[in-house]
Amino acid sequence: MSEAQTEYRVEAADVEKAFGELKVLKGVSFKVAAGTATTIIGPSGSGKTTLLRTLNALDRADSGVIRVDDVEIDFAAPTTKAEVRRFQSRSGFVFQGHNLFPHKTVIENVTEGPLMVQKRPKDEVMAEAVTLLDQVGLAAKRDQYPFQLSGGQQQRVGIARALALKPKVVLFDEPTSALDPELVGEVLSVIKDLAVQGWTLVIVTHEIQFARQVSNQVLFTDQGIILERGTPEEVIGNPRQERTRQFLQRILNPL
């Protein structure tokens, strides 16, 4: 499919973000095609998570234009709360630390957004929640509370909760970084299944082999810019930039 024919679910143009004097994003631009998985890799402090959070306005960009599905915001211009809410509704966010409501059961966590925010019919929402929990392997845990679950199970609930909002794009912020090593695989397996099913995914990850397996596009960030982009084979298998090579050598061949 040619560039002109490609349907893009996310388009970011010249995105800038600073925290005080620290400029974290320096004119970042990229696109994510519908039904594809994009992974963002790079060293700590390179702007990966901030970039992801700007796609949901959890961190509001200082300037630049971001479009998610059919909603576009020019962050250099004034925006209303309603415009930002509409922008945020197009994506679901899966956090590093699960961020589940501790006083709500698994199924209550999954149904909270569709019921309270989207005001959708309860019968419909409950039926979809059961299906989603089955999809992530947790249908039997529906009435348990987060403290009764492993970290990997909590993260899978977080994924089901994001999917319950029927987002056009699912954003993952290092979804395995808070997990014990033996629990990482169960979460990555769920994300791989979503990619196969055709969800549009943007994933910040330090799991390089996972990025190689799941990605259609890999972005390597360093010092607030996208230094290299391409297919997994191009960026991970045969990087053009010396900085990318150094990073991958350190990650893939630790001392």
- Tell me the residue type at 8: Y
> Are 219 and 236 in a shared domain?
yes
> Are 122 and 183 in a shared domain?
no
Selection from 67, 255, 53, 91 nearest residue 170 by Cα: 91
> Are 28 and 60 in a shared domain?
yes
pLDDT value of residue 240: 95
| Domain contains 3 | no
pLDDT value of residue 3: 60
> Are 211 and 138 in a shared domain?
no
Q: What is the pLDDT of residues 86-107, one digit of tens each?
A: 999 999 999 988 789 999 999 9
Selection from 72, 75, 68, 64 nearest residue 93 by Cα: 68
| Domain contains 95 | no
Q: 17 is in which domain, residue-wise?
A: 8-90+167-252
| pLDDT score of 182 more than 90 | no
How far apart, in whole angstroms, are the C-alpha atoms of residue 210 and residue 200? Answer: 16
> Are 248 and 173 in a shared domain?
yes
> Are 179 and 237 in a shared domain?
yes
Look up residue 70 and give its DSSP letter.
Answer: T
Which pTM value belongs to this model? 0.94
Report the mean per-residue pLDDT for the chain.
Answer: 94
> Are 62 and 179 in a shared domain?
yes
The two three-digit tokens of residue 83, written as one number:
């415009």
| pLDDT score of 225 more than 60 | yes
| pLDDT score of 218 more than 70 | yes
Give the three-state DSSP class for 44: coil
| Domain contains 200 | yes
Strand 71-74 vs strand 201-204: parallel, antiparallel, or unpaired? unpaired
| Domain contains 134 | yes
